[in-house]
Structure 1
Amino acid sequence: MTSQEIPSDIALLAGPPLLGHLFNYGLFGILSAQVYSYYNAFPTDPVSLKAFVYGLYAVEWVQVILISHDAFQVYGAGWGDLNALTSPQWLWFDIPIMSALVSATVQCFFAWRIFILSNSRILPPFIVLPQIALMQCGAGVATGVITGPALNNNALIQEKAKNALIVWLGGSAACDIIIAVSMCFLLARQRQGLASDKLISRLITLSVETGSVTASFAALDLIFCLAFKHNNLHMLPAFMLSKLYTNSLMLVFNNRTKLRQMHDEALPTPRAGHVSQRWATSSERTRSRGGGFPSQEISLSKLSRSSPGSHELGAHRAADGFEADVELRKPRITGSTQVRAWGPGVLL
């Protein structure tokens, strides 16, 4: 074997990809635990939601397999070979292309979530978010195509695909920021000085945390790409991007357990002469024939026309996780003792 001169920046060429692989494996372990928790906690979720969750998990499995192949080629079979270290292997596909597809899917889901919460088809974030998500997805795919198998040096990625990288990572960060701000605005409007405000505060905190994490890593990846063009420092956050998006999504899904507990604690204790509310548990929820949305029964006992509870009921908006973002309107008393409120199935 011919001897090769070790470059002075070998640590910045070999270190970031190695750490990226390790963090990717760690995040995949966390994601696997979250998917298992989802499987046990929400067996009655619609088939479409289960397919969405398990489909993203399958994509992450494929990415782990591909990056494991790349890691073995560099740090195993190609150990000591600088050509193997600088070769892109399958990174042109499993990082920009797969990460862009996963992030765009998650961002479009949150755009749908904002649309349901706002109940408006002309809300600017709902119109802009899918466009930004698809734009950054296209730029991510373009980055992968430009830096495909024909490129034999990772250090040339930033130069060859500079414009595509800016659109991909910058658009992804901008989309995450808009999602976080929109969710905070929509949820803050629901504050009414009631016990449920604690629940709304938790939802706002969760939206800020998940949006800021993904936006920060996308921005960090872009900064490293532009500032350090001749090393692999940018690969450290790049390896983590898709797993951060799927973990953020699963955190929102699984957070329903805590939200339902907080919601049940915030409900008032029924008394004679007041409205008595009974919220169905996940095992008791039934589906409507058309939309498949669950319902909650609100029993009205001894409700008089002058009861203050009837006015408060019309302004109360409860958030019971995914299946029960239910607006309880003022009931019409027609002799029946039950009113059904149908939830639109929005994931809080």
Structure 2
Amino acid sequence: MGLFDLTLGPILMGSMMNVLLLGVMIMQSYIYFERYKNDKTWLKAVVCLLLVLDSLSAAFAMDMTYNYLVTNFANLEAIQITNLGITPYPLLTGITAFVVQNFFAWRIRLLTGNKFLAYSVCALSTVQLLASIGTMIGGIIVKYFIDLEKVKQVSLIWLLGSVVTDAIITVTLVWYLRAHRTGFASTDHLTGRIIRMTVQTGLLTTTCALGVVIAYLVSTNTTMHLAFGLPLSKLYTNSLMSSLNARKAWNPAGYTAEISGSRTGINSQFTHGRVYSAGNGFVAHVSRPTTHTLYPLPSLDSLTNLVVTFSTEPKPGRRRPDSG
């Protein structure tokens, strides 16, 4: 193993993944703004904020990598000291996690009606944000990588706070979805897809944050934790964006007819007995011959204006559902 493999290697790998995931975030943002032009202004502002945070994070990571690998190439003293590029990393990651986690807390509050659970997520997210600020300040004070051991406690509060918050969000949403299975094959298939997406995106951020914790504890004299830590903020933003952009797939039949409802569900009359997903994240549970009920699924659309759309006319080329 080379002299700098465990010092510069993790920085290079983490920065590469950081920039790669920024490209994914840019692509997802483009898809979002093209596909969901009617979303609420505040939701678009959240996406813009996350894109700015990701861009800043990538810029600082590139500056850090250039400083160590080019400007101070073979400078043994320089590579042992934190620089301007790495200093904001905890803060930017903490802010990004705070925004995404509070968004999902709002989602939990809207779906389950459980204020205590939603506020608990917000409180834990605030703790990890404050700890990330403390970690950044500690990094400025100690300067040398080898002395980061002195800020281990606050760093662990930051990282473990993120892990616990992500786990609560994932478990809550999966529990809610499983508890609201209906017995209708089409609806339960859609619910299963959303559960899988929720678990996959939640596991990404949780696993990566755990990787940072383990690397930080096991290898305190290296920068191994940065291989996991530098891309972490991008995993948060991409998990949220993948959920936002998946909404269109929840309405593959493209059915439209105006129906208004509340968060607890509504009943209305229909003319046939198939089951479809609505564009704003609701599912029509249609029981023959004429009644259907709408229940909220974890849409990341604006659920404050609970107007959903269906149509009894299939898309061109689709056979009309059998009403008999």
2-structure distance, mates of 1:322, 1:232: 36
Query: Which consecutive residues of structure 1, in runs of 5 or more, have no partner in the other structure?
Result: 1-6, 265-271, 283-293, 299-306, 327-339, 344-348
1:274 aligns with 2:271: yes
Query: Which consecutive residues of structure 2, in runs of 5 or more, have no partner in the other structure?
Result: 256-268, 309-324
In the alignment, which residue of structure 1 is the partner of 2:125? 133
Distance verdict in 2 for CA 1:144–1:192, change over 3 Å: same
* Paired amino acid for 1:141: I
1:271-324 C-alpha deviation (Å, 9 max, x unpaired): x98369999997xxxxxxxxxxx8x9x9xxxxxxxx9645x524x426494448
1:188 aligns with 2:178: yes
In the alignment, which residue of structure 2 is the partner of 1:313? 292
Question: TM-score with structure 2 length normalisation?
Answer: 0.81
Question: TM-score with structure 1 length normalisation?
Answer: 0.76
In the alignment, which residue of structure 1 is the partner of 2:229? 238
Cα shift at 1:209: 0.6
Share of identical aligned residues, percent? 24
In the alignment, which residue of structure 1 is the partner of 2:204? 213
Distance verdict in 2 for CA 1:138–1:92, change over 3 Å: farther
Structure (1 or 2) with the larger CA radius of gyration = 1
- Structure 1 residue corresponding to 2:195, chosen from 201, 204, 219: 204
* Paired amino acid for 2:199: V
2-structure distance, mates of 1:318, 1:105: 23
1:90-141 C-alpha deviation (Å, 9 max, x unpaired): 245331111011101100100100111113334xx21311111000111111
- Structure 2 residue corresponding to 1:179, chosen from 148, 154, 169: 169
* Paired amino acid for 2:27: A
Q: Secondary structure at the match of 1:11?
A: coil
1-structure distance, mates of 2:29, 2:225: 28
1:33 aligns with 2:33: no
Distance verdict in 2 for CA 1:204–1:277, change over 3 Å: closer
1:309-347 C-alpha deviation (Å, 9 max, x unpaired): 45x524x42649444879xxxxxxxxxxxxx9736xxxx
Distance verdict in 2 for CA 1:161–1:182, change over 3 Å: same
Q: Secondary structure at the match of 2:203?
A: helix
Cα shift at 1:80: 1.1
1-structure distance, mates of 2:12, 2:270: 66
Distance verdict in 2 for CA 1:281–1:136, change over 3 Å: closer
1:187-216 C-alpha deviation (Å, 9 max, x unpaired): 112211112111111111111111111001
Q: Secondary structure at the match of 1:261?
A: coil
In the alignment, which residue of structure 1 is the partner of 2:152? 162
Q: Secondary structure at the match of 1:10?
A: coil
Q: What is the CA RMSD across the aligned residues, in angstroms?
A: 3.1
* Paired amino acid for 1:227: V
* Matches for 1:1-348 after TM superposition, within 5 Å: 9-122=3-116, 125-148=117-140, 150-157=141-148, 159-194=149-184, 195-261=186-252, 274=271, 309=289, 312-314=291-293, 316-317=294-295, 319=297, 321-323=299-301, 342=307
**Contact 1:317–1:325 at 8 Å: present in 2 too?**
no
2-structure distance, mates of 1:341, 1:153: 53
Distance verdict in 2 for CA 1:168–1:280, change over 3 Å: closer
Cα shift at 1:41: 0.9
2-structure distance, mates of 1:281, 1:206: 18
* Paired amino acid for 2:126: L
2-structure distance, mates of 1:273, 1:90: 62
Distance verdict in 2 for CA 1:308–1:281, change over 3 Å: closer
* Paired amino acid for 1:90: L
Q: How many residues in Structure 1 have an aligned counterpart in Structure 2?
A: 291
Cα shift at 1:47: 1.0
* Paired amino acid for 2:23: G
1:143-167 C-alpha deviation (Å, 9 max, x unpaired): 000111x43322222x121101111
1:61-102 C-alpha deviation (Å, 9 max, x unpaired): 112222222111111111111122122112453311110111
1-structure distance, mates of 2:273, 2:135: 58
